[in-house]
Amino acid sequence: MRLVISYHHSPFMKTTSLPRVSVLVPAYNEEKYIHRTLSALVTQDYPDYEIIVTDNASSDGTALVVQTFINQQPVTGVQITLIHESRKGTNYARESARKQAGGQIIAQMDADCVPASNWLRRGVTALIQNRQRVAVTGPYDYFDGGSRMRFFSLLSQRIFYPFVSDLVQVSGRGAILIGGNAFIHSEILEKAGGYNTAFTFYGDDIELGKQLSQFGHVAYIPGLVQPSSSRRYKANGFWEVNKKYQDSFWNLVWRKNILLTTAENSHPR
């Protein structure tokens, strides 16, 4: 695995007691989106964090875009690391990045997300304010989707997801965890065995919720919103994509046998 690293020194690092955060960004054929995502990440108002981008066997110019961004970015105080993982799958990409991470907290996001400047601060604050929490997560806002789709999707995520997540946690069957909008204690993730690479895409976040909920509370925070692209819904249909997510969730939550996803689902686009 080849590493390409850029370092800058943050003027905030000596004055903060907040935990260091490692932001993990898996990227497969993301040359159209990754620059926008990185631009939003380097302007976070959080004082101590690093960004690790995993080029997950892309066939386009993803790695070049990331490396160019590293070379040309202004001095922001943010360390960006580009790594390469040839085994396809979001959990392969995340696990490779996790092993390189130096943060006390892992922040998960996708390569087509555009986080608000206070995303890291809000996520970390929500996580560390309650010692029972091992992870926090929140809804997506599909900012480029149709107005009705965007409204009803966000509404359902804010109203129903917290209830369902607490319900399945009380029953000891897992938790809802949004893969592109999650904050996790690094130590707990290590104890949980890291990312389960048997899951390549659909079901990976649900499996992670099950792993983490064995060690404490996975809190679903309705106000911790992550702007994300609706491209998957546009490409594959709103109901079809929703059905895949829902089927994965209920299969993993209510069945004893873990269902593994197929290779063709490693990076659906």
Give pLDDT tens digits for 97-110.
Answer: 999 999 999 999 99
| H-run or E-run covering 4 | strand 3-6
Asked if the structure places residue 118 within a domain, the reply is: yes
Task: Tally the domains of the chain.
Answer: 1
- According to the model, what pLDDT value does residue 133 have? 98
Residue 154 belongs to some domain of the structure: yes
Pseudo-torsion of CA 63, 68, 74, 80, nearest 10°? 20
Strands (E), 64-165: 79-84, 105-109, 133-137, 140-142
Query: Looking at residue 77, which CATH number applies to its domain?
Result: 3.90.550.10
Is the pTM here over 0.85, yes or no?
Answer: no
Q: Digits of tens for pLDDT over the chain (269 positions)?
A: 434 333 333 333 334 589 999 999 999 999 999 999 999 999 999 999 999 999 999 999 999 999 999 999 876 789 999 999 999 999 999 999 999 999 999 999 999 999 999 999 999 999 999 999 999 999 998 877 777 777 777 888 788 888 888 888 988 888 999 999 999 999 999 999 999 998 765 678 888 999 999 999 999 999 999 998 765 655 555 556 555 556 655 565 556 444 444 433 445 44
Q: Are strands 181-185 and 105-109 parallel, antiparallel or unpaired?
A: antiparallel
Is 268 within the bounds of a domain? no
Query: Nearest Cα to 179, choosing from 150, 145, 217, 212?
Result: 212
Comparing C-alpha atoms, which of 17, 10, 20 is closest to residue 49?
20
